Amino acid sequence: MTTLTERYTEVSERLRDAERLAARSAGSVRLLAVSKRHPATAIRAYYAMGQREFGESYLQEALDKQQDLEDLAIVWHFIGPIQSNKTRDIAAHFDWVHGVDRLKVAERLSAQRPAELPPLNICIQVNTSGETSKAGVAPTECAALAVAVASLPRLRLRGLMTIPAPETDPQRQRLPFRLLRELLEELVRDGLELDTLSMGMSDDLEAAIAEGATLVRIGTALFGQRE
């Protein structure tokens, strides 16, 4: 059985190797540990190894773990689909939200972000695979949504996020990531101050880093298969 320590070392090495191969500086890609469907004890173990950023997809499960882990200085990312009736809890209990793809949800998050907390960090989710995925704004509508989200007072738009359709060929894996990078570059040219490309998971982190990912979201490679 592979221990969590071994997995952490393995994933960290994959990140460093991919950074080197892409001629990017060491440590330029942040690791988000996706702990959904895994217990708080595993989060605690990775925290002890120095991991600070964790991603969760299911609100109630996340809130339960946050209670268990109250004593730790974790940066919490919400990466799941966002239902409108859940925005109040998401706005109050997370530092980052990656799945914003409609203005209405962004407006609710901004209105419901508690005054005593800093602005909520946001990544807009883009549908880079066309018909095959329903979540995410269409690439052609990304700029308009980004400008609108960036103007909301209690949000801080940080960048873009995507979950491409599954693809095993390493060269083809890069296409949606390239599209996301080009969209981000366009927004930056238009004057938005963005610094985050949230892309790459256990099976395609190398392709994502080659195309400029600044944050990879890794579940299975760190925690093993989910139930």
Contacting residues toward ligand PLP, per CB under 6 A: 34, 36, 57, 79, 163, 201-203, 217-221
Coil/strand/helix, residue 34: strand
In the complex with ligand PLP, the residue whose CB is nearer, 12 or 202, is 202
In the complex with ligand PLP, the residue whose CB is nearer, 133 or 220, is 220
Q: Rounded to the nearest whole angstrom, what is the least distance from the CB of residue 98 to ligand PLP in the complex?
A: 7
Place of tokens 């919400």: 78
Report CA dihedral (62, 66, 72, 77) to the nearest 10 degrees.
30
Q: Rounded to the nearest whole angstrom, what is the least distance from the CB of residue 55 to ligand PLP in the complex?
A: 7
Q: Rounded to the nearest whole angstrom, what is the least distance from the CB of residue 83 to ligand PLP in the complex?
A: 15
Q: Rounded to the nearest whole angstrom, what is the least distance from the CB of residue 221 to ligand PLP in the complex?
A: 6
How far is the C-alpha of 170 from the C-alpha of 207, rounded, in Å?
6
In the complex with ligand PLP, the residue whose CB is nearer, 212 or 219, is 219
* Burial (Cβ within 10 Å: 0-12, 13-18, ≥19) of residue 13: exposed
Q: Rounded to the nearest whole angstrom, what is the least distance from the CB of residue 22 to ligand PLP in the complex?
A: 19
In the complex with ligand PLP, the residue whose CB is nearer, 30 or 154, is 30
CA 48 to chain centre: 22
Residue nearest ligand PLP, Cβ-based: 219
CA angle 164, 40, 197 (to 5 degrees): 30
In the complex with ligand PLP, the residue whose CB is nearer, 158 or 217, is 217
- Cβ atoms of 97 and 90 within 8 Å: the answer is yes
